[in-house]
Amino acid sequence: MTKTLRTCAILGTATMLLASFLLGQGYLNQAVSAASNERLAPKMEVDPFWPQPLPNNWILGATIGIAVDSRDHVYIVHRNQDSNFATQEIGLDNGVSECCTAAPPIIEFDPEGNVVNAWGGPGQGYTWPDSNHGLEIAPNGNIWIGGNGGADSHMLVFSADGDFVREIGLPGEPVDSNSTTHFNKVAEIAIDPVANEAYIADGYGNKRVAVLDVATGAFKRYWGAYGNRPDDAGIIYDPDQPLPQQFVGPVHCAEPSKDGLIYVCDRGADRIQVFRPDGTFVKEAQVARNTRGAGSAWDIAFSQDADQEFIFLADGSNFKVHILDRDSLEKLAEFGGGGRQPGLFYGTHSIASDSKGNIYTTETYEGKRVQKFVFQGLRALSDHSTGAPWPDGAIN
């Protein structure tokens, strides 16, 4: 063999090895498990060093919204009002200690977890929510937020740098799930970039899904549970009784998938209901159906494969994340549990995924933080366990 041929052979072998490496450990595991016909699910590992420490002696309050943009920058919204902190937590603000001060309500992190921007709060031309809630990033980079405070019957839209764009709806309006002019205590917003429509989980006061035109904010349509006309009568969920024909609420998420379905969190009834974009009911399933009070279905994110095969369901009452098969809505695995250490939760509230399949969670109540979980590939269900997914590979 000539020197040139030997060189080509070596380069060809190296290229093949590199290609095999780039498949990733997750896909190698997938092949092995497929051969044994074991069901697979995404396995996650907490990154205890994400985000980086906040600057300026900042601390977070109840953290109740999250979204990831096309650059894998992570945006969160938290409640920075004084009532969300103990007196000693914001000792710097109160003039009694060197730390700390409430961070601005909207914070942007780069993929490494560094703060690159922070803004928000009351200003000119709009009414900041009494209790901000939920955050979404439009295809043009605009930031949408809702609110679930007493007078929050509107939404706000800002540029990515915090410049005011639009107020949608009117503050201070009453509960009316059949209104086409205002909302009531919006929990979450999700945008379908293809149809240019915003799906509003409306929410804590109203009991419906509402759909708006993203470009103009114009009202387009709405529906209640099973596609019914919504009813504002209060409903108490009882797991021993048939599921109610109206949303129990709060209606806590309404998330469009790539294949044209809308996944709605009826938090108080521990259920996900699936619809077509016109409000036609498709199917439903419950998760942790014996959870009462605040319920189990808080927010969902889809896996990043082309088919969005999996759903990650944030469960703030049971302090965990469930992993579901999106087609069947069957629960496959879970991680988390109650606690303050990395990988555990207190009030798992919102969830989002980035382009690499990593997921991010926020925590409300006294949780007051954002966490990152790194995608480890698809693993057999026998390789999953409950508890905190620690970086050393051990699941406690």
> Shortest CA distance to 329 belongs to which of 296, 276, 285, 280?
285
> Shortest CA distance to 245 belongs to which of 260, 277, 262, 223?
223
Same domain assignment for residues 43 and 27 = no
* Domain-embedded: residue 261: yes
What confidence score (pLDDT) does residue 7 get?
43
CA distance 140 to 89: 37
Same domain assignment for residues 1 and 123 = no
Residue with tokens 């209640």: 224
Edge to edge, the sheet with strand 251-256 lists 251-256, 262-266, 271-275, 281-286
* Domain-embedded: residue 279: yes
Asked whether residue 17 carries a pLDDT value surpassing 60, the answer given is no
- Chain Cα centroid distance, residue 371: 12
Same domain assignment for residues 18 and 82 = no
* Domain-embedded: residue 364: yes
What confidence score (pLDDT) does residue 392 get?
66
The CATH number of whichever domain residue 203 belongs to comes to: 2.120.10.30
Contact present, 296 and 318 (Cβ < 8 Å): yes
Same domain assignment for residues 112 and 160 = yes
> Shortest CA distance to 129 belongs to which of 153, 161, 152, 104?
152
- The predicted-structure confidence for 108-143, as pLDDT tens digits, reads as follows 999 999 999 999 999 999 999 999 999 999 999 999
* Domain-embedded: residue 395: no
Same domain assignment for residues 7 and 129 = no
Region 230-239 average pLDDT: 93
What's the predicted TM-score (pTM) here? 0.90
CA distance 318 to 299: 13
Domain coverage including residue 222:
39-383
Alpha carbon of 253 to those of 89, 172, 208, 349, 372: distances in Å? 31, 22, 10, 11, 20
Number of domains into which the chain is organized: 2
* Domain-embedded: residue 263: yes
Same domain assignment for residues 169 and 32 = no
Asked whether residue 292 carries a pLDDT value surpassing 60, the answer given is yes
Same domain assignment for residues 20 and 101 = no
- The predicted-structure confidence for 27-68, as pLDDT tens digits, reads as follows 444 544 444 578 999 999 999 999 999 999 999 999 999 999
Asked whether residue 265 carries a pLDDT value surpassing 90, the answer given is yes
- The predicted-structure confidence for 135-176, as pLDDT tens digits, reads as follows 999 999 999 999 999 999 999 999 999 999 999 999 999 999
| Phi/psi of residue 48, nearest 5 degrees | -70, -10
What confidence score (pLDDT) does residue 148 get?
97
Same domain assignment for residues 90 and 21 = no
CA distance 110 to 68: 10
- Asked if residue 174 has a cis previous peptide bond (ω within 30° of 0), the answer is no
Contact present, 228 and 281 (Cβ < 8 Å): no
Same domain assignment for residues 367 and 245 = yes
Q: What percent of the chain has pLDDT over 70?
A: 90
What confidence score (pLDDT) does residue 30 get?
54
Asked whether residue 5 carries a pLDDT value surpassing 80, the answer given is no
Region 267-291 average pLDDT: 98
* Domain-embedded: residue 188: yes
- Asked if residue 150 has a cis previous peptide bond (ω within 30° of 0), the answer is no
Same domain assignment for residues 238 and 139 = yes
Cα angle 189, 158, 213; round to 5: 50
> Shortest CA distance to 284 belongs to which of 300, 268, 265?
265
Residue with tokens 């970039």: 193
* Domain-embedded: residue 147: yes
* Domain-embedded: residue 174: yes
Residue 261: which pLDDT band, with cuts at 50, 70 and 90?
Answer: very high
What confidence score (pLDDT) does residue 82 get?
87
Same domain assignment for residues 10 and 53 = no
b/e per residue 150-174 (b: at least 16 CB within 10 A): ebbbbbbbbebebeebeebbebebe
Same domain assignment for residues 84 and 229 = yes
